[in-house]
Chains A and B, each alone.
Chain A
Amino acid sequence: MDKKPLLEVRNLKKYFDKTRGLFAKEKKFLHAVDDISFDIYKGETFGLVGESGCGKSTTGRTIVKLYEPTDGQIIFDGVDLASVPEKEMLPYRRKIQMIFQDPYASLNARMTVTDIIAEGIVTHKLYKDHDNPEKAIQDRIYELLESVGLKKEHASRYPHEFSGGQRQRIGIARALAVNPDLIICDEPISALDVSIQAQVVNMLEDFQKEFGLTYLFIAHDLSMVKYISDRIGVMYLGKLMEVATSDELYETPLHPYTKALLSSIPLPDPEHEDKGKRIVLQGDVPSPINPKDRCRFATRCNYSKILVENDGSDFKQQIVGKYARETVIDHERHHAIVEENQYITEEIADMIIDFGVDKIYINRSKCFSEEPKLEEYKKDHFTACHFTKEIEEGTIK
C-alpha cells in the first residue's frame, strides 16, 4: 500500500447551534464532531465506528461538505476543502462520492435508474467531448449496472420496483459512475438482511481492488467493520478515542471504551471462551451539548472511579470534597442518599456513614478535570486516555 494520505482530517469540528429562544441565557452547541484528526491512505479502507450520536456520520458528511465545518481542515489530495468556496466545490464532489444507509430514502422515487445514475455523469459533464454523448452515457450505465449485478432491463425501472439489496446496488453504481477516488460509505449495509450484507460487502471489496478506490467506512456493526477495514478509528461523543490497524485494535485494544465496546458485541458462537468475561458499561452516553472539559468517557469508564472502603479510620476525610460516582440508594425507601456525580459535603458524608454504607466509589479527579489528547502509545496505535500506561501495566484496576 502506498503510504500517502489521500485525505488528511485536521482538528475537524462541527458544532450545531441548539440555542432556543430569543432570550436564552447562554448559547447551546451540540458538539457533534469535536476536534478530530486522522489520515486515510490511498487504497485503504478506514473504518469509523461508534454508537449512535458519536458523530461518525457527521464526520462523513462534513468531509464532503454536506455540512459546513465549524473549524479545522479537510485536506484532500493536497487541497484544503474547508477553505474551498461552495462555488468551486464541484470538481471535488466528483472525486468524493457517498453511499448512504437507507436505500429507500437515498434514491429519488420519481427518477428511473438511468436518470439516477446519469445525473452525476451529466452534472460533471464527463462525456461532453464525446461524439455521441447520449449513447456513451447509456453504454456506461449498462456497464455499471452489470458490474453491480443488475441487468440492462432494470435501467428503465423505478426504485420502488427493487428490493433493499438491489437499491443499495443502484446507490453503489451511482457513486461509481463519476470515477471517484474516495467513497464515503455511511452505514451502507445496516439496513440490509444478513444474507444480503455479505453480497454488498464482497462487491465493495471487488471494486476497491479493480479501481483502486479508497473507502471511509462508517458503521456501528463492529464485526463487519473489522472485516472490511485496514485501519479503524473509534469515536465517542464527538472525539476519537483510539486509532489502530484493525487487527491490532481487536487483539490489543488500549482505550477502556474500545475494550468495553468490543466485549459488548454478541458473538455468534455460544460456547466461545470469552463468554462471561463481558465488560458491561454502566449508564448511558451523556449529552453532547456543551460538554465539559474532561475525558468524554469518564462518566462510564470503569477505570475512572476509585473505591473507598470504610475501615473505621479516615473514611470521612477520604470522601469529603470528592464527587460520588454512583447513586447510593436507601433500599427501604427507594430513595437516593447521594446522587450520581454529587459533591460530597461534610453533612452528606455523615449521612453516608449513618446509613451504614461501608464502601463508595468516587471519581478519579484527573479524568474529570482534564481532556486527554489522542497520542501515539505504540507504533501506529493512537489512544486518548490519561492512564493507558497504568492500565496496561495493571497498576490501575
Chain B
Amino acid sequence: MKKKVLEVKGVKTSFFTHLGEVQAVRGIDFELNEGEILGIVGESGSGKSVTSLSIMNLVDHPGEIKEGQILFHEEDGNIVDFTSLSSRKMNEYRGNDVAMIFQDPMTSLNPVYSIQNQMIEVIQRHTDLNKQEAIERAKSLLEQVGIPDPEGQITDYPHQFSGGMRQRALIATAISCNPRLLIADEPTTALDVTIQAQILELLKKLQKEINMSIILITHDLGVIAEVSTHVIVMYGGMIMEKGTVHEIFYEPKHPYTIGLHQSIPQSAKKQKERLVPIEGSPPDLLDPPTGCPFSPRCPHAMEVCLEKAAPLFEVSDSQKVSCWLLHEDAPKPKEIFKGAK
C-alpha cells in the first residue's frame, strides 16, 4: 500500500470581483501518493493554477477557498488540513514540506538580491544552518540542478542568469528543504524546447533522488506524457477525467480528453489527416453552465448533460470519468471512442 501525501476533498475556490463571483474551481477531489508525478492538464481558465494555489493556501483577496479540505499527510502519518491553518502556521509547511515553482522564473526572483542571498534566506529560514553552512548548502544544490561553476555564479544577480538557469536556481531553492511535495505550475512554458527538455529531465532526476511527489500543471499534453505517472484533465473548474498516464493517452473516455487528443497533430502518423478541432469556446466562469461544463461544446451532449454535472464514474481502480455517457443507461455510440488511439 502506497503512502498518501495529499488528499483534496471537494475544494471550491471563487474570486469575488466587481463583475460577480468567478467560480474558478468548482468542487474537485483527488489524491496523490508518495513518488507519483501527477500532471494536471487544462486550457486557460480551466482552474488548474487556482487548484495549485488552493493547495498552498495562497489564494488571495478577492479569492477564497469556499469549501473543502486539503489534507496533507506528514511523514509520520500525521494529517493536517491546510484550509484550517492560520497563515502563520501554514508558513511552517510552505517551503519545508510543500514547495512551489512558477511559470515565469524572472518574476519569482527578486532582481535586487543575488542568487546567493535569495537561496540562503530560504535555507536559513527553514533550518538551523549558519550563514557559511547555508552558502555551502546552496552551492551543492546549484550543482545538483546542473549550474556549471556554482562557486563563480552564486553571487550573480538574476538578470545575469538565462531563463533556463533561473528556473534551475528556483528549483534548487524549492528543493532546499527536501519537500515531500513539489508543485510546479507551468515550469517550462516560458522556456524554449531545448531548455524545456533539460528542465523536465532535471525534475524526473530529482524526483527519483529525493523521492518527492510532484504536481505538474501544464497545458501541454506532450509535457504530461513525458514526465507524469498520473493525469487529471480539468475543464471549466472541474475534473473531467483522471487516471494513469496510460489510461488518459491510450484509453481516454471523456469526449473532452478525446477532443484534446484529436486537435493536436499526431507526429507519429505519416499521413496528414485534417485536425479535428473542438468547436466553440471555453465556458464563462462568471456564469458557468449548470450541467457539465463541456456540454455546450460536446458533440454527444444529452439532455441530462445540460441539467446536471455527471459524477465521477469508475472505469478502473485508477480511472474516473465525469461523463454521463458512462452511465449504464446511456446510449453507447461507437464513434465516440474511435478517436482514442
Contacts and interface: CB of A to CB of B under 8 A. Distances in A.
Nearest to A326: B148
A291 B198 CA distance: 25
Given A266-B223, A329-B148, A339-B149, A281 B194 contact: yes
Contact of A284 (B165, B226, B274): B165
Interface in B118-160: 136, 139-140, 143, 148-152
Contacts of A194: 43, 219, 221, 260, 263-264
Nearest to B135: A334
Contacts, number: 148
Interface stretch (A9-17, A99-107, A218-226, A377-385): A218-226
A52 B263 contact: no
B138 to A, nearest CB: 10
Interface stretch (B7-15, B107-115, B275-283, B327-335): B275-283
Interface of B is mostly: helix
Interface stretch (B179-187, B265-273, B309-317): B265-273
B192 A52 contact: yes
Contacts of A263: 197
A268 B197 contact: no
A340 interface: yes
B313 to A, nearest CB: 23
A268 B249 contact: yes
Interface in A268-299: 268-272, 278, 280-281, 284-285
Contacts of A197: 263-264, 277
Contacts of B267: 223, 226, 250, 265, 267
- The listed residue with most B CB atoms (<10 A of its CB), out of A224, A250, A326, A336, is A336
Contact of B194 (A196, A260, A271): A260
B77 to A, nearest CB: 32
A80 B64 CA distance: 60
B62 interface: no
A247 B265 CA distance: 14
A198 B198 contact: no
B246 A271 contact: yes
A220 B192 contact: yes
Contacts of A252: none
A223 B264 contact: yes
A198 B259 CA distance: 10
A39 interface: no
Contacts of B264: 194, 197-198, 223, 268
Interface of B: 43-44, 136, 139-140, 143, 148-152, 162-165, 192-198, 200-201, 219-226, 228, 245-246, 249-250, 259-268, 270, 272, 274-279, 281-282, 297, 341
Kindly list the 5 A-B residue pairs having the minimum CB-CB distance in the complex, ordered from nearest: A266-B222, A198-B277, A227-B265, A198-B263, A51-B192
Interface of A: 51-52, 163, 165-166, 193-199, 201-202, 205, 220, 222-224, 226-227, 247, 250, 260-261, 263-272, 278, 280-281, 284-285, 326-327, 329, 331, 333-336, 339-340
Given A199-B277, A327-B148, 5 more contacts: A163-B282, A195-B282, A264-B197, A268-B249, A280-B197
